[in-house]
Amino acid sequence: MQYVILLRGINVGGRNKVGVADLTAALEAGGFTDVKTYINSGNVVLTSLATSAEVNNAVEKLIKDAFGFAVDVLTLTGAAYQQITAALPANWIHGKAMGCNVMFLWADADSPDIVDKLPAKPGIDTLIYVPGAVLWAFDGKDVNRTGISKLAGPGPSQRMTIRNCNTVRKIAALLDASAHR
């Protein structure tokens, strides 16, 4: 089965450095196949016969053993990831005119009421809950006014990992390419 692995908090601010070549080699040595990464921010597509929970636990252990630190790992089946990607409105892009991100949720935070717990500013932040994620968009001119961009510290942000929609779509394309080989 294909999985998308999202690592939270690697290669941020010079901390928890993990090179993609080293990460790929470690995952392959751990028995995963068809390992592909996208940019150096913890985005992996791989194949395994194990369950999602088994994959998640194995990746967490592998990173701790290979790189010497723990990171939060979110594992999604390829199908679940594609459903989230398909929910992104086609006209949502991430660039100067518009910001668009996907906040992927751990299971314990995955509920429609997560939207009510986020510091969105009416008229600036647009939030859409889909199972497994919150889709977030804002006008580019409002980048410094959005409430969600200040999301940090304890609370809901600890149970999510964020990717911009361009990255989300690139990972989806990696899944498609792997599935059609």
Q: Of 14-28, 50-64, 72-86, 152-166, where does mean pLDDT reach its minimum? A: 152-166
pLDDT value at residue 155: 63
Q: What is the CA radius of gyration of the chain?
A: 16
pLDDT value at residue 158: 77
User: Is residue 12 scored above 70 in pLDDT?
Assistant: no
Q: Which of 30, 46, 80 is the last residue of a domain?
A: 80
104-136 pLDDT, tens digit per residue, is 999 999 999 999 989 899 999 999 999 999 999
What average pLDDT score do residues 6-30 get?
Answer: 86
Determine, yes or no, domain membership for 173. Answer: no
pLDDT value at residue 181: 58
Q: Where are the beta strands (DSSP E) in 25-159?
A: 33-37, 43-47, 72-77, 98-105, 126-130, 133-139
Structure tokens belonging to residue 161 = 């990992």
Q: Which of 28, 60, 80 is the last residue of a domain?
A: 80
Helix (H, G, I), strand (E, B) or coil at 32: coil
Assess whether 96 and 144 both reside in one domain: yes
**Cα 112 from Cα 147, distance rounded (Å):** 19
Beta strands 160-164; 98-105: pairing state: antiparallel
The residue ranking higher by pLDDT, 15 or 167, is 167
Structure tokens belonging to residue 139 = 């006008």
pLDDT value at residue 154: 55
Helix (H, G, I), strand (E, B) or coil at 69: coil
pTM here?
A: 0.92
Determine, yes or no, domain membership for 170. Answer: no
User: Is residue 148 scored above 90 in pLDDT?
Assistant: no
Of the chain, the percentage scoring pLDDT greater than 70 comes to: 93
Report CA-CA distances (Å) from 70 to 2, 18, 62, 147: 23, 12, 9, 29
User: What is the average pLDDT value for the chain, to the nearest integer?
Assistant: 91
Determine, yes or no, domain membership for 176. Answer: no
- Contact predicate 4/171, CB 8 Å: yes
Q: Which of 80, 107, 136 is the last residue of a domain?
A: 80
Confidence of residue 34 (pLDDT cuts 50, 70, 90): very high
**Cα 177 from Cα 56, distance rounded (Å):** 22
State the residue range of the domain holding 26. Answer: 2-80
pLDDT value at residue 15: 76
Determine, yes or no, domain membership for 169. Answer: no
Q: Which of 14-18, 26-30, 147-151, 159-163 holds the top average pLDDT?
A: 26-30
What average pLDDT score do residues 30-50 get?
Answer: 94
Element (H, E) at 8: strand 2-8
The residue ranking higher by pLDDT, 51 or 179, is 51
Q: Which residues of 24-48 are buried (b: 16+ CB within 10 A; e: fewer)?
A: bebbeebebebbbbbeebbbbbbbb
